Structure 1
């Protein structure tokens, strides 16, 4: 049995799955957070899993790595872990300070910072979309003129598609830029790098490649599909594993990702690499140095019997994870998210009873949010629920999920601002 240091967490998805997994494996952990109330739902008295399963909860300023390292001197841990993007670099610093294992490579900043990733791909001679960096509105306008509309405006240091916008004209560029300028701190109160990345809009199907690396040895688990909604935003509303691709396309995208991981120095840890399949070939969207969110790890486990979160734990303890897929008779698995179509007060949710009797749904969760004020959907934090579906015969898991959500009807008291 090992004792881990967990530095913050996501509230959803992996943040819910990791704590009970650690418990089931016989491990304990100290959860350190600067804001325990961040993990307490306003609509439930039940403690969040990261708090409920913790051996102890330490309240400390997790945004100050030097202060955190000093505070942790008297404690003893067997490894350091986090599933929250905003604390990956801090977890790496803490692990290094105490000579502890963690599931991230030395060069993790190159992956976390989107512009550094683009520059590393350039140096390796790998294909990139056309892109420019800007630090002011005039620079952004100059970059847009060089790239051409439509384009995508991205902050270089946020996660979960936050403030990533499709820009179709000068007015949208100004609005997107001003929205970012008005957001100097990220969602965890960390000072942002106000460098703006402008990229040509890449047309094509988007997929992600899930991989595990152990000191330079990389195993690819497979390719997951993705659908998005909420234009001009990029809200992920569903995934299926494995993606419906030809063998040729799967081989091409997998090799491209292997080359990209090598280019950015990602030689240790789990990577969730997002790729656009353009007419000119695969292009990297982002490389995430962690397990995939949005319950993709569950989809992979249902199809391959490989638990990526367990592999993540093993890496956190300095162990080489065993990645051996097994055919358990499941052809595909999918997750579809309930995305509100607008803002406003949600008066009623109808159709939930239809989910209970659907043989293709293995589980679902819909928040009890009737009477609540719902914000306009702009990123992945907008979800009101999800369904997990599976198909033993073929690649219909996504279709089953889409059909299930069509039966859920959201009624609003007021029109609000449509997405």
Structure 2
């Protein structure tokens, strides 16, 4: 008799997502519904179907076909845009473990999230939901500059921009509204929000039957003002900051109704205390789950699989270390003509990955449809402490060479 299997919706791109399938496949036979035929995913998947992941009817049909051939114990995704699909599938497959549709919709739609935060007394940014530039201008005047514009139901920083003055608003509105035009169906329009000044962190949580455990805190660096492009994430076991921010993260999850799964709660540490940026009812991107494993020994992908299959995840830490990922961005916009990692000490280097090739066009302006399109690569290092790990990362990034020829140089 076949073992019950985990159904995964969407593998995502290999550089950032292969560790998810790899870690879960070691304990759970996996089925995959993907939007392209299998390539690198083959070693981790028992059976699969190809379907348009943006079409819930097509995904349901693919899941039904798999269910005829294989016993499905649970369903999971690590992609923000398929959370509603997974919630529906969990119900249609005979009540598999998962969040309610209402809870997932509230997490996806940041306007609804803000309303629920306010009702529950969870500290977050003042926010107004708008659909026109004039309404955005009025809201910004009430909140007072600087403000942040963001699509109501996007992810990956798409369309999110800081606005310093009313003079900057029209340009910022064109960026945010372009992002909003491509956001998920769970929300529409743009939020005009109070700018939360202070360091950014995220709390990586596991919620089982409504009880949330905070596993790790991720310290995040952002750059490229007025955008919020993430440049580094770092995780250290037993970071004392975790005990300060975990109650806020748990309250935010409860406010939107999340009772199940691995979540990624983004927070800013303001002068008035921690304030919630947003709740993501899935594992954090940018290899954050891998940083957690390297630092603590806890596998968040495996925890999400266990929960999806109705089991209690193992959250016992087995490491006391630190890990950090540093993003590699181009020095300027233009054509990538050379890239290299010069020889050096790779003892602490866990992963190194190029995301650009020679001949690619590099930009310094985020796309309205694709997150992080300006990255050239990333490096992941580990160490015994946050200080040591940062030094190791700086050494590796100091050996990275990316040469770009600008349009002006090519025209000369």
Out of 2, 5, 10, which is 2:4 matched to? Answer: 2
C-alpha contact (below 8 Å) 2:151/2:177 kept by paired residues: no
Out of 92, 100, 117, which is 2:87 matched to? Answer: 92
TM-score with structure 2 length normalisation? 0.88
| Aligned counterparts, 1:243-282, within 5 A | 247=240, 249-282=241-274
- Is 1:116 matched with 2:112? yes
- Is 1:55 matched with 2:46? yes
Out of 359, 370, 374, which is 2:358 matched to? Answer: 370
Partner residue of 2:338?
A: 348
**Deviation of 1:285 (Å):** 0.8
Out of 398, 401, 406, which is 1:406 matched to? Answer: 398
Partner residue of 1:361?
A: 349
Residue-pair matches, total: 398
Out of 27, 31, 34, which is 2:33 matched to? Answer: 31
In structure 1, C-alpha distance between the alignment counterparts of 2:84 and 2:403, rounded to whole Å: 42
**Deviation of 1:263 (Å):** 1.5
- For residues 185 and 145 of structure 1, do their structure 2 counterparts lie closer, same or farther at Cα, with a shift above 3 Å needed? closer
**Deviation of 1:290 (Å):** 0.9
CA distances 1:187-244 after superposition (whole Å, capped 9, x unpaired): 7xx5574321111111111111111010112211121100011111111111111289
User: Which deviates more, 54-63 or 90-99?
Assistant: 54-63
- For residues 223 and 393 of structure 1, do their structure 2 counterparts lie closer, same or farther at Cα, with a shift above 3 Å needed? closer
User: Which deviates more, 164-173 or 225-234?
Assistant: 164-173
Segments of 5+ residues of structure 2 without an aligned counterpart are none
Partner residue of 2:302?
A: 310
CA distances 1:328-370 after superposition (whole Å, capped 9, x unpaired): 3x431111111223321011124x1335x33332231224612
C-alpha contact (below 8 Å) 1:3/1:30 kept by paired residues: no
C-alpha contact (below 8 Å) 2:177/2:189 kept by paired residues: no
In structure 2, C-alpha distance between the alignment counterparts of 1:208 and 1:118, rounded to whole Å: 17
- For residues 321 and 132 of structure 1, do their structure 2 counterparts lie closer, same or farther at Cα, with a shift above 3 Å needed? same
Out of 278, 282, 285, which is 1:290 matched to? Answer: 282
**Deviation of 1:91 (Å):** 1.1
CA RMSD in angstroms, aligned pairs only: 2.5
Partner residue of 2:218?
A: 224
In structure 1, C-alpha distance between the alignment counterparts of 2:321 and 2:64, rounded to whole Å: 48
Partner residue of 1:44?
A: none
Partner residue of 2:23?
A: 21
Look up the SS of the partner of 1:276 in the other structure. Answer: strand
CA distances 1:121-170 after superposition (whole Å, capped 9, x unpaired): 10012222222111111111111111111111000111111111011123
Segments of 5+ residues of structure 1 without an aligned counterpart are 40-46
C-alpha contact (below 8 Å) 2:161/2:175 kept by paired residues: no
TM-score with structure 1 length normalisation? 0.87
CA distances 1:276-323 after superposition (whole Å, capped 9, x unpaired): 000000000111111121111111112211111101111121212121
- Is 1:79 matched with 2:74? yes
**Deviation of 1:27 (Å):** 0.6
Look up the SS of the partner of 2:311 in the other structure. Answer: coil
In structure 1, C-alpha distance between the alignment counterparts of 2:328 and 2:117, rounded to whole Å: 35
Look up the SS of the partner of 1:395 in the other structure. Answer: helix
